[in-house]
Structure 1
Amino acid sequence: MTFKPAKWPRKLRSQEWFGGSSRDNIYHRGWMKNQGFPHDLFDGRPVIGILNTWSELNPCNAHLNALAEKVKNGIYEAGGFPVEVPVFSVSESAFRPTAMMFRNIAAMSIEEQMRGQPMDGCVLLVGCDKTTPSLLMAAASTDLPSIVVTGGPMLNGYFRGERVGSGTHLWKFSEAVKAGEMSPAEFAEAEASMSRSAGSCNTMGTASTMASMAEALGMALSGNAAIPAVDSRRRVMAQLSGRRIVQMVKDDLKPSDILTREAFENAIRTNAAIGGSTNAVIHLLAIAGRVGIDLTLDDWDRLGRDVPTIVNLMPSGKYLMEEFFYAGGLPVVLKRLGEAGLLNKDALTVSGETAWEQVKDVVNHNEDVILPVERALTQSGGVVVLKGNLAPNGAVLKPSAATPSLMVHRGRAVVFEDIDDYKAKINDPDLDIDETCVMVLKNCGPKGYPGMAEVGNMGLPPKVLKKGITDMVRISDARMSGTAFGTVCLHTSPEAAVGGPLAIVQNGDFIQLDVPNRRLHLEVSDEEIARRQALWTPRIAPPDSGYAKLHHSHVMGADTGADLDFMLGCRGAPVGKDSH
C-alpha cells in the first residue's frame, strides 16, 4: 500500500483548545498550566494522549505506569506534548459477571475521551485481554493516529521443575484435584508459581493473542507482542512507540490507513499460525465493524483453514511466551507466512513500512518453539467455523487445542440450562454421563450470562476424570479462556437466551460434531425443532436498569463481534464548538 504523508506543519485539532489568544484558548491553557507545563508546549506541537489502563485491580496492567513514563520520554524526544489519561480498565481476573460484558462500555467511554479532549494522537497502553480490543475499537471509531503498546507477558512459572502456564495449568491442576491425582495442598502450593512477575498471561491466551493481533494488524511496532513485561526491552519499545506516534500525527497516519481488509486477513492467518485464542474472533469482528470492514465468520474459516500452527506454546504446545520472545517472536511467524504466500506483504503498519519490510530479514533462533511447517502442531490450524441446525449462524472450535479423535463424534446430550445448573450437577456421582456424551451448556452468550463468560470449557465430571479421561465434546454459547484447551464448540449462534436452537436441546438428544465438514447437527427433525421453539420461553429476565439494561438491549450476536448495535462504523473525531 502506498501512503502519502500529510504536509507538515499544519494546524492540529488540539489547537482548537490551546492555540490563539481568545478567552477560550486562555481558559484551556491556563488550567493546564497549574501542572507546571511551560507555555511553549502549547505552541502547535502534537498533543499525544497516553491512554493508560493501569489498575491495581487489573493485575496484568498494574505495571503500566512505569511504561507510561517511557512513552512520555519518547514523545518529548520527538517534539510532542504527552498527557497521560487514565481510562476504563477491564480485568478478566476480577470483573464480574464477566469482563466481556464491559468491553463495549470501555470502548464507548474511551472513544468519547478521545473525541472530546484535545488529543492529536494516542498511545494505547494495554495489557489484559479486553483492554487491547476496547482501545482498538475506540481508535477505529475516532480514527485519530494511534499506536498500541502492550504491557507484555509474565515470566515463565515453574512448579516442581515443570513449566506452569498461567490459566492452562490452573485448568489442568483443578481437574487433577478432582481426579484424585493432586492434593488440595499441592494445588495451593502451585498457586505461588503461577504468576511470578508483572505482566499478562505467559501462555498464548487471549492477552498474548490480542497483543499478536495488534502487531499483525500493523497497529504496533514490530516485535512488540512477545517482549516479557519485566525485560528492559519492553521499556525500550514503549519509548520508541512514544517517538513514533509524534511522527504519525505529523504524517496524519490514521487507523483507517492501517486497518484495511488486507490487515485483517494477515491477522486471521497469524492467529492460525500461533494457535491463538478463539476470543480473537469476536474481538477482530468488533474492531472491523468499527472501522467499516465487512469481516465475517466465513472469512475466519476460509483464511485460516490451510495455515499450519507453528508456534509451540501452551495451551496447544509446550512452551511459554518467554521462549517465544527468545526465538524471535511474532516477526518470525509473519516472515514464515510471507514466504508461504500467506501474508499481504504490502499492508501498511504504524512504522510507516509495510508488513514485509519489517520482517523479511528476521531470524528464527529456536525451531522447537517456532516450528518448521513439516513439524507443525497441526497442518490445518486456525479457528474452525461450524454450522448446522444447532448453530445456523455459526460456532467456533480451536483444532490445535482439541483432541483429534473427537473431531468427528456422535454423542448423547447432557444438558445444563445455565452455569448454576452446571455447578449444581457436575460433581453429582449419580449424573447420567460418560465420556461418550456431549456436554451442552445454555444461556451463557452475550445476552444470557450476561456478557458471555469464559465458561465454555466446562470441567469434566469427577466420575469421568477418575477413568483417566481428560477431554469430552462440549458445546455452548459461551466463550473460553485463550489459556484453555479441549474439544469445545463455542459462541454457538443464535444464543440460547434469544431462542436459538441451542435453547431447545434436551437430555438424551443425539448431537453430531463433524469438524472436517464444518458441521454441528442436532439429530432432531425440523418439525420437532419448530415445535420446541414455539413452546420456548426465556429463562432469564432482562435487566431493567443501568448498563446491564443497555447492554442487553443492544448487544449483537457473537457471530458479528458482540458489539453494541449503535456503535458500528467510524464516526471520526470532529472538533465541536467550545462552550465556555
Structure 2
Amino acid sequence: DLDVVSVFEAVGKHANGEFSDEELATVEACAIPGPGSCGGMYTANTMASAIEALGMSLPNSSAQAAISDDKMRDCFDAGAAVLNLINLGIKPRDIMTKEAFENAITVLIALGGSTNACLHIPAMAHAAGVDITLDDFERIGKRVPLLADLKPSGKYAMADLVKIGGTVPLMKMLLDAGLLHGDCMTVTGRTMRENLEKANAVYPEGQQIIRPLDNPIKKDSHLRILYGNLAEGGAVAKITGKEGELFKGSAKVFNSEPDAMKAILAKEIVKGDIIVIRYEGPKGGPGMREMLGPTAAIMGLGLGKDVALITDGRFSGGSHGFVVGHITPEAFDGGVIGLLKDGDTITINAVDNRLDVDISDAEIAGRKAAWVRPEPRYTRGVLAKYAKLVSTASEGAVTDKYL
C-alpha cells in the first residue's frame, strides 16, 4: 500500500540510488489517489479516533472511507445529532470532561496514535477548561497496551481497520476491560456505555489488525514521556519496541530542518549518529514544523535502526524510528538542546523514560553563559505575534495560556 509516507521514504531511496527518477515519479503519482486523510494511524486518523472516544463525534465516524455511503450518511447524521443536542441542552463542555479526555488518550494509545496528540489533546483540554498534561499520558500509558498493528510502525492501513468494523469494537473491548469511563456523555445524547452496548460490535475471528488485550503488541503505551537534563520540561517519543528501547549516540547538530535534510540526502549521516534539529520549536520555528522529511529520508536510506533524531520541533504522524520531539525547554528559550555541540554523547532511554546528554552541570552552565539567543525568524506580522504568545510544547503550544 502506497501512501504519503511512501513518497517521503522514496526520496531517501532515490538519494541512495535504489530508486530511479521514473520510480520516484511513479510513487509520487500513485501515493495519494483521491480524497481522504493519510492512510495509516497518522495524525488525522489519530485525532479523529481520539475525538470519537472523547464523545465529540458520532460512533465509528472516524473509521469510514472518505468516499463511501457510510461517510455520506455520517454527514447527514451529524446534522441531526446537532439538532438533538440543542433540544437536549447538551453543550460541548458537558461532553469534554476530564474523564472524556482520558478516554481519548486511552483509545489513541491502543491504536498506536501520533505524537501530535500530545500537543492537540492538551490544547483542546485547555480550551475546554480541563487540565490535561503530559503526566496524564504517562499515567494512562502505564495501564493501556498498544493493540493496533497499523502504519507507520505496523503493517496495516486505516482502510483495513474500516473493513473489520472500525474503532467501535476496540472501544467496546476497552470498556469491558475497565479501561474507559462508560458514563461520559457523547454527541448522541447517550453515554459512551449506552452507545457501545447498542452497537454490540466485535471484530471478525482471525483478523490480525487489532490484538486481544492478553496478547498486545506492547504491554504499555508507545508514547513515552521523557525527562532528563536535555528535557527538563518533557519530551515525547513514539517507541513501539521494534526500534529497541535504548539508543546512545553522537550528536550531529543542525539549526533548522532544511539544513538537516541537506545533510541526510548528502549521506553525511552515519551509523550511531543522533541527529539534533533545533530552533524548530513553538517559538523558534515559529510553529513547530513536522519532521516527516528527515525521518522518512532516514528510513529510505536504510538507517532507520542505526540513527536517532531528536528535536524541539514535532513530527508527522507518519514519522517512525527512534525519534524524540517536543523537547522542552526549546532551543530558542535557552534549553539545553540549544547548547549541544557535534560529538556530544546523548542517551535516549525509553525504559527509564530519560533523555540526557553526557556533560556535567558545570559544562552546561558554561555553555549557557556563552549562549546568545538568535534573532527571531519573523519580527512582524502574524508569525511574530504567535512566537511572542505561544506556550511550550509540553503545554500544548497554546497562545492564550498567559494572557
Indicate the TM-score class for this superposition, using the shorter chain for normalisation.
over 0.9
User: How much does 1:457 deviate?
Assistant: 6.5
Alignment of 1:257 onto 2:94: yes
The residue aligned with 1:444 is 280
Structure 2 residue corresponding to 1:386, chosen from 212, 222, 226:
226
Matches within 5 A, 1:146-165: 163-164=1-2
Q: Is the 8 A contact 2:38 2:44 kept in 1?
A: yes
- C-alpha distance in 1 between matches for 2:134 and 2:292: 19
> Which AA in structure 1 matches 2:319?
A
Give yes or no for contact 2:8–2:297 (8 Å, CA) kept in 1: no
From 305, 330, 334, give the equivalent of 1:495: 330
- Which residue, 394, 406, 409 being the options, matches 2:247? 409
Residues in 2 aligned to 1:419 and 1:469: alpha-carbon distance in whole angstroms: 18
What CA distance in whole angstroms lies between the structure 1 residues aligned with 2:293 and 2:118? 17
Q: Does 1:296 align with 2:136?
A: no
* 1:321-348 CA-partner distances (Å, limit 9, x unpaired): 1111111111111112112211111111
Which of the numbers 177, 198, 215 marks the counterpart of 1:340? 177
CA offset digits 1:183-202 (Å, max 9, x no partner): 22111112222112211112
Could you tell me whether the CA contact under 8 Å between 2:99 and 2:181 is conserved in 1? yes
TM-score (norm 2): 0.94
Q: Determine the structure 1 residue equivalent to 2:363.
A: 528
8 Å Cα contact 2:9/2:296 also seen in 1: no
Q: 2:107 matched to 1:270?
A: yes
Residue type at the aligned position of 2:365: A
Letter in 2 for 1:419: E
Q: Which residue of 2 aligns with 1:92?
A: none
Deviation at residue 420 of structure 1 after TM alignment: 3.5
Alignment correspondent of 1:280: 117
Which position in structure 2 is the counterpart of 1:538?
Answer: 373
Q: Bigger CA drift: 444-453 or 170-179?
A: 170-179
The structure-2 alpha-carbon separation of the partners of 1:566 and 1:268, relative to structure 1 and needing over 3 Å to count, comes to closer
Give the secondary structure class of the aligned counterpart of 2:27. helix
Give, as a single letter, the amino acid of the residue that structure 1 aligns with 2:36. Answer: G
Give the aligned residue type for 1:478. G
What pairs up with 1:74-473 in 2 under 5 angstroms? 163-164=1-2, 166-360=3-197, 361-365=200-204, 367-400=207-240, 403-405=242-244, 407-429=245-267, 431=268, 433-455=269-291, 458-459=294-295, 468-471=302-305, 472-473=307-308
Shift of 1:421: 2.7
Deviations 1:531-574 (A, max 9, x none): 11111112232522211121011001100000103588xxxxxx
List runs of 5+ in structure 2 lacking aligned partners. none
Change (3 A) 1:421 1:170: same
- AA of the residue aligned to 1:224: S
Secondary structure of 1:373's partner?
coil
2-structure distance, mates of 1:351, 1:461: 43
Cα contact 1:477–1:493 (8 A) shared by 2: yes
Q: Structure 1 residues 240 and 428 mapped into 2: Cα distance closer, same or farther (>3 Å)?
A: closer
CA gap of 1:392–1:230, structure 2 versus 1, over 3 A, is: same
Q: May I ask how many residue pairs the two structures share in their alignment?
A: 399
The one-letter code matched in structure 2 to 1:389 is N
Alpha-carbon displacement from aligned partner over 1:473-495 (angstroms, at most 9, x marks no partner): 11101111102211100000011
Contact 1:205 1:277 (8 Å CA) reproduced: yes
How far, CA to CA, are the matches of 2:266 and 2:57 in structure 1? Answer: 49
> CA separation of 1:277/1:460 partners in 2, compared to 1, >3 Å: closer, same or farther?
closer
* Largest Rg, 1 or 2: 1
Shift of residue 257, structure 1, vs aligned partner: 0.5
Once the two structures are superposed, residues 411-462 of structure 1 have per-residue CA deviations (whole angstroms, 9 ceiling, x without a partner) of 1111112223324433445x4x421121111111111121100026624888
Contact 2:235/2:328, CA 8 A, preserved across alignment: yes
- TM-align CA RMSD: 2.0
Return the letter of the residue paired with 1:397: A
Q: 2:249·2:273 contact (CA, 8 Å) conserved in 1?
A: yes
Asked if structure 2 preserves the Cα contact closer than 8 Å seen for 1:327 and 1:370, the reply is no
The letter for the 2-side match of 1:413 is A
Partners of 1:380 and 1:394 in 2: CA distance: 19
Tell me the alpha carbon deviations over residues 215-268 of structure 1, each in whole angstroms, 9 at most, x when there is no partner.
010000111001011011101111111111111111110111100010011111
Q: Does 1:519 align with 2:357?
A: no
Report the 3-state secondary structure (helix = DSSP H, G, I; strand = E; otherwise coil) of the residue aligned with 2:74: helix
1:455-474: CA deviations, max 9, x gaps? 26624888x976x4333211
Shift of the alpha carbon at 1:353? 1.3
Unaligned runs of 5+ in 1: 1-162, 569-580
Distance verdict in 2 for CA 1:460–1:445, change over 3 Å? same
Aligned to 1:55: none
- Given that 1:168 and 1:314 are in contact with CA atoms closer than 8 Å, whether structure 2 keeps it comes out as no
Q: Distance in 2 between matches of 1:174 and 1:190?
A: 10
Q: Return closer, same or farther for 1:251/1:417 CA change in 2, 3 Å cut-off.
A: same
Q: Distance in 2 between matches of 1:168 and 1:306?
A: 30
Report matched runs for 1:3-82 at 5 Å: none
- 1:356 partner letter: R
Match for 2:275: what amino acid? Answer: M
Instruction: Determine the C-alpha separation between the residues in 1 that align with 2:209 and 2:264.
Output: 37
